[in-house]
Amino acid sequence: MTSTRRLSDHNVSANSFWALTARQRDEVWRELRDHEPVSWQPPAEGGLMPIEDDDGYWAVVRYDDIREVSTNPEIYCSGEGVQLENIPEMFLEPTQSFLAMDAPRHSSLRRLVSAAFTPRRIATIEDQIRSQATRIVDDLLATGDCDFVHNVSMKLPMWTIYEMVGLPAEQQEEVASAADVIVSSNDEDVQAGREPLEVINDAVMTLMTAGLDLAEDRRNHPSDDLMTNLVQAEVDGEQLTDEEISAFFVLLSVAGNDTTRNTISHTAMALAAFPEQRDWLLADFDGRIGTALDEFVRWASPVMTFKRTVTQDTVLNGQPIAAGEKVVMFYPSGNRDERFFERPWEFDLSRSPNKHLSFGGGGPHFCMGQQLAKSQLRAIFGELLHRVPNLELGEPDYLLSNFVNGIKSMPCTLN
């Protein structure tokens, strides 16, 4: 079957598109949602490596279509890569782990770590997360005016994920910075004059070394953490290889850090921009935060894209798609789809139900860390809203990325 490709007039692959504001991007997505829900797009600009036979992908922008792609992994598979950007083979294995796998291997490997992310396990570390949030706000109050991202947003996710994995505190900041580079090598600030490939290579080496050193240590000194679980685990009667363990470590580092960090930054901005929503939440924080958390996450849409490869000729919302072609889901667009959400551009903390796509559109790759992320958001905003009531945020410096909705820095004043 040949699909009927016609390059869309609305290019969502170019860096110039990703340099727009979230609101401007959504105006383009809205055009696509209304008139071209499954559109043919050129390959992502700024890829680490152009792939010669890559002529583009189908962009999926409507809520229902993102759900359909996500929940049919037999047709829309992950095993051939999940990033919009083409990533050289040499980086795929060491960085993607079960993110870029299909059943049954995906299920076996994911289960090795998923048991650490269940509601009951998260509940056991909730006190630690809360006291860490208290410490972060103690430090913020002692520091005074500063960079909100560095002093608040990045701290709690970094501390939480590495506490679970077992990485010593003195290594956490360096390793988390390397994890950031993996998702931000398109940004000129991150490149600092170097080639993206070189930048990412350094970061992967830093992460792999840290992961393998920690694995080696846990083989000799088992502890109660995820790395110990990984070095002791057996799948189909075999232990994990060093490469598999370090890929796990890279995935947990990337997924555990930037997603929650950016959600904290975007939420802090939204609470400042919509003071009546902040007041509504504060009027009964404990009673309302559970509902509000989903709006924090819908609003932020911290992960913007994931790709799938079609395993057989199929049809999506009327558009024929041929086996082997790629589809890319645009989650912020699904989260603003007016067919599904009323008043999608209103930050409404009482929105319920709020079945957003920020943790994915369902299916086997649905976010494993969603309970953990919510615990962190609950803890940090409980502290911030009650103890820093006059927090003011300056202009954010956005990351140029087609993958994460990132904020690099944002000045804050405490008044």
Partner 1 sequence: MPSAGCIKHDRARCAGLGVCEAIAPEFFEVGGDGEMVVLRADVAPEAEALVREAIESCPTQALSWSE
- Rg of the chain taking only CA atoms, in angstroms: 21
Q: Does 366 bind partner 1 (CB under 8 A)?
A: yes
Q: How far is CA 181 from CA 154, 162, 199, 225, 300, in A?
A: 14, 17, 7, 25, 20
Helix (H, G, I), strand (E, B) or coil at 63: helix
Q: Does 119 bind partner 1 (CB under 8 A)?
A: yes
The span of 8-16, 107-115, 301-309, 325-333 binding partner 1 (CB under 8 A) equals 107-115
Cβ 372 to partner 1 shortest distance, Å: 11
Q: Does 115 bind partner 1 (CB under 8 A)?
A: yes
Of 13, 354, 370, 405, the residue at the interface with partner 1 (CB under 8 A) is 370
Amino acid letter, residue 358: S
Measured from the CB atom, the residue of 96 and 370 that comes closer to partner 1 is: 370
Phi, psi of 74 (to 5 degrees): -70, -35
Cβ 98 to partner 1 shortest distance, Å: 11
CB atoms within 10 A of CB 229: 19
Of 19, 35, 105, 111, the residue at the interface with partner 1 (CB under 8 A) is 111
Torsional class of 192: left (φ above 0), alpha (ψ -120 to 50), beta (otherwise): left
CA angle 188–190–195, rounded 5-degree value: 70
Phi, psi of 238 (to 5 degrees): -120, 145
- The token duo for 53 is 């036979």
Of 43, 79, 320, 364, the residue at the interface with partner 1 (CB under 8 A) is 364
Site for partner 1 in 329-358 (CB under 8 A): 355
Measured from the CB atom, the residue of 345 and 366 that comes closer to partner 1 is: 366
Measured from the CB atom, the residue of 299 and 359 that comes closer to partner 1 is: 359
Binding residues for partner 1, rule CB under 8 A, total: 21
Q: Does 223 bind partner 1 (CB under 8 A)?
A: no
Contacts of 299 (CB under 8 A, 6+ apart): 266, 267, 270, 347
Lay out the site mask for partner 1 across 63-92 (x = CB under 8 A, - = otherwise): --------x---------------------
Binding region for partner 1 (CB under 8 A): 71, 107, 110-112, 114-115, 117-120, 355, 359-360, 362-364, 366, 368, 370-371
